[in-house]
Amino acid sequence: MTYIGKNQKRLEDGPLLRGLGRFADAISFAGQLHMRVVRAPVAYGRLGRIDIDAAKDLAGVFAVWTAQDIMEIGPIPFRQVTLPGMERFRQYVLARGYVRYVGDPMAVVFADDPYIAEDAADLVTAEIEILAPCLDATGPVGAFEPGVPGEAGVVEKKYGDLSDAFARADHVIELRLKIGRHAGVPLETRGAVATFDPSDNMIRLYGAAKIPHKNRITIAAIIDHPVDRIHLHEGHVGGGFGTRGEVYPEDVLVCLAARKFKRPIKWIEDRRENLVAANHSRQQTHEIRAAVDARGFVLGVDDVFWLDQGAYVRTHGGAVSELTAAMLPGPYVWPAYRSVGHIRLTNKTPCGTYRAPGRFEGSFVRERLMDAIARRLGLDPVEVRRINFIAEDAMPFDRKVDALGTDVILDSGKYEDLLDRLLERVGYHRLKAELRRRRADGEMVGMGFAYFVEKSGLGPHDDVKLILDADGRVEIVTGTASVGQGVETVLAQIGADATGLPIEVFTVTHGQTDRIDHGMGAYASRATTMVGSAVHLAGRKFNLALRQAAADMLQATAEGLAITDGRIHRTDDPSGPAVSLAELGGEYFKAHGAPLTTEATFHAERMGFPYGIHLVVARIAPDTMAIELEKFVIAFDVGKAINPMLIRGQFAGAAAQGIGGALFEEFVYDEWGQPLATNFADYLLPTVFEVPKVEILLREDAPSPLNPLGVKGAGEGGITGTGAAIAAAVDDAIGGFGAIDSLPINPARLHQLVEKLGR
């Protein structure tokens, strides 16, 4: 039986459908204290005395901490791209000297009951000398503190001869483009529950997500605890999207308090906190110039951008800026290129990654630029892209830039072929003519599309163990994480095919640092490519190991045995004597005192690069400026689809998030840096009314040569081109000729624009 390629129903669903999920707030321990964070009420100020007396006196309160109580604890370090001089902008777990955004943790209260902890937190007051906040990343550099300029770093990626390109240009096209501030906003808020056992000095942190193994090392270092005396445990995770699972101040505080007080410490974030304290993302402004020849070929592109980092540089360091700059060229040749990104500190919530970090932003910029070039030269948007594509026979294509420590070498791709398939699928020319007719009849309706290259399978390696227990079940132990994407199912499918065993015998373990030494987690669309490949390798070994173990029992050699439906039998006598997995598991354990186990590591030097296109038809209601998406199509080449149903689910969900970022979601601040979107009435997640049916054209035309399965990641491609495609469609609908230059496109902004255009 082959499981790869099948719409296998998920192994994960049973407990989740019954309400038995172990999400963070389902985890409790006897004698636990509840932690509540007291957060800065102002955007920027010098922090004076914090009065904790009233809070401490409240019945049920165990302790209150400010920075004074934990002076030995350093700031949270970077786990990715570190730029020179960036260290001083790291965040301490409790504010020292200054508060720098509304939501900055100033104190924590520990109490017997979560309601009392919240009461007590309200009693904590702080003297803060308010300073004028910096809220614009594109203006003069603000101050991290008086005398310290708030530019955390500058990223530069470049290749080719730009001055030559501009000297030879027939056209120079310049744009200024903005992407708004929004974020992953998982439906489950963050949570962290820590226990400490003094008898063996062991700290255990529950509620871990995304990268438990990395965070284990980070937290151990921050709180100066032996790494082998701390373990992280991932339960169910209510959505990740890049936001959840980084090391935040609260994760450190619960571990520290558990060790100090020798009691379990539980912290569950509320939604208001989540919207001001968990990572924001995206906010960038680009100024981009293209040198273009007479036929529409881009000779060179010069880009400068400002990333609104917020108040501190968190765990990602300069990763989002680096990815933006390195991947902005997308599927086009662009023989000369430079992008310079300024990471600017502002008095807002710190930023990190959000699904397709840097690519959502860069794709908006690149595709708006390509549309502008098409307009200037009187070309169809399709034609200008054809002229600039990297050809299939140029693969692998060295982009001549690096990102996340690896060279960006596009591994495989048939860019024009995918575009042709999409155009045929939607009947492009007929559709275009029909929309033109509808516009002539007075409707505001238009089409736009965006081409993009994604990345996946970030290395360098992943380990997997396969273990046969005495009941005949096979456990796949990994260091990956589940953020709801269905990774257990996918790994079991791969494991079943590699071992020749039925999928029902597998259980998948992830996110438990006490079960496997190393793990890279689940992010950057890496789980299926990296961990899946390791499962494939370990599974092949497991198949052989099973046959070897059964050889004596069946008086045959391993080569003379085969595995069918979980039975091991002689190849020359398929219906004859056989050993079941349970028999073998039991016998093996008796003979060896340990279960039959195989291990494998998969290494990858470089990332793989899937690619896709989003095509949107948008209609605008003239009275309300509401934007209805009549058509939403995603074409995507995933190399090899392990489970098409799950991939479609990833795309549909990511597209909905992209629609949010393009049209609805925005963290707005007033002139004093007070956040105005601190609940779900003001921060607008798309509801079912705003999300259309997403059509998906899933292709496997360009398998990746970088792994044994040929797979590329599918976690992010559903969101990457959404902002660009929706902007192009709305632009087309209003006859804007490039007027849509910022996201999100909300009705108020659209109304102003349409008035200005006299539509």
279 part of the interface to another protein, by CB under 8 A: no
Instruction: Identify whether the C-beta of residue 721 lies closer than 8 Å to the C-beta of residue 728.
Output: no
Distance CA 136, CA 43 (A): 13
Binding mask 101-130 for another protein (x = CB under 8 A): ------------x-xx--------------
Give the distance from CA 396 to its chain's centroid. Answer: 26
Q: How far is the CB of 589 from another protein (least distance, A)?
A: 29
- Shortest distance, CB of residue 45 to another protein, whole angstroms? 28
User: What residues between 167 and 186 interact with another protein by CB under 8 A?
Assistant: 185-186
The verdict on 629 binding another protein (CB under 8 A) reads: no
Among 555, 688, 748, 758, binds another protein (CB under 8 A): 688
Contact between 649 and another protein per CB under 8 A:
yes
Among 2, 30, 59, 576, binds another protein (CB under 8 A): 59
Please choose, from the candidates 228, 212, 243, 240, the residue with its C-alpha nearest in 3D space to the C-alpha of residue 478.
212
484 belongs to the binding site for another protein (CB under 8 A): yes
Indicate whether 483 belongs to the interface with another protein (CB under 8 A): yes
User: At its nearest, how many Å lie between another protein and the CB of residue 695?
Assistant: 10
Pair 266, 254: CB distance under 8 Å: yes
DSSP string for residues in 8-56: PPPTTHHHHHTT----GGG---TTPEEEEEEE-SSSSEEEEEEE-HHHH
Q: How far is the CB of 19 from another protein (least distance, A)?
A: 2
Does residue 503 belong to the site contacting another protein (CB under 8 A)?
no
Judged by beta carbon, residue 25 or residue 367, the one nearer another protein is 25
- Binding of another protein by 202 (CB under 8 A): no
In angstroms and rounded to an integer, the radius of gyration of the C-alpha atoms of the chain is 27
At residue 79's C-alpha, the angle toward residues 238 and 84, to 5°, is: 140
3-state secondary structure of 282: coil
Taking CB under 8 A as the rule, does residue 656 contact another protein? yes
User: Which residue of 485, 525, 543, 720 would you call a contact of another protein, by CB under 8 A?
Assistant: 485
13 makes contact with another protein (CB under 8 A): yes
| 225 vs 252: CA distance, rounded Å | 12
Residue 679 sits in the site that holds another protein (CB under 8 A): yes
CA distance 41 to 130: 10
Q: Could you tell me which residues come within 8 angstroms of residue 138 by beta carbon, excluding any fewer than 6 positions away?
A: 285, 306, 344
How many Å separate Cα 745 from the centre of its chain? 23
**Rounded distance, CA 539 to CA 600, Å?**
9
State yes or no: residue 31 binds another protein (CB under 8 A).
no
Q: Cis peptide leading into 595, omega within 30 of 0?
A: no
Contacts of 436 by beta carbon, 8 Å cutoff, 6+ apart: none
Q: How far apart are CA 583 and CA 114, in angstroms?
A: 50
What are the C-alpha distances in Å from 277 to residues 37, 72, 104, 272, 429?
10, 23, 7, 8, 47
Q: How many residues does the chain have?
A: 759
266 part of the interface to another protein, by CB under 8 A = no
* Coil, strand or helix at 325: helix
Our finding on whether 18 is near another protein (CB under 8 A) is yes
One-letter-per-residue 3-state SS of 232-270? EECCCCCCCCCCCCCCCHHHHHHHHHHHHHCCCEEEECC
Provide, rounded to whole angstroms, the least separation between the CB of residue 486 and another protein. Answer: 7
Per-residue string for binding with another protein, 318-357, x by CB under 8 A?
Answer: ----------------------------------------
By the rule CB under 8 A, 698 interacts with another protein: no
Pick the binder of another protein from 172, 431, 470, 691 (CB under 8 A). Answer: 691
The single residue among 56, 168, 271, 473 that binds another protein, judged by CB under 8 A, is 271
Q: Which residues contact 746 (CB under 8 A, 6 or more apart)?
A: 663, 664, 666
Show the binding pattern over residues 208-237: x = contacts another protein (CB under 8 A), - = does not: ----------------------------xx
Instruction: Indicate whether 689 belongs to the interface with another protein (CB under 8 A).
Output: yes
Give the interface segment with another protein, choosing from 12-20, 547-555, 567-575, 669-677 (CB under 8 A).
12-20
Find the binder of another protein among 6, 23, 551, 582 (CB under 8 A): 23
Is residue 738 involved in binding another protein (CB under 8 A)?
no
- Contact call for residue 594 and another protein (CB under 8 A): no
**Interface with another protein by CB under 8 A: which residues?**
9-10, 12-14, 16-21, 23, 25-26, 28, 59-60, 113, 115-116, 185-189, 236-239, 241, 270-271, 483-486, 645-646, 648-649, 651-657, 679-681, 685, 687-689, 691, 693-694
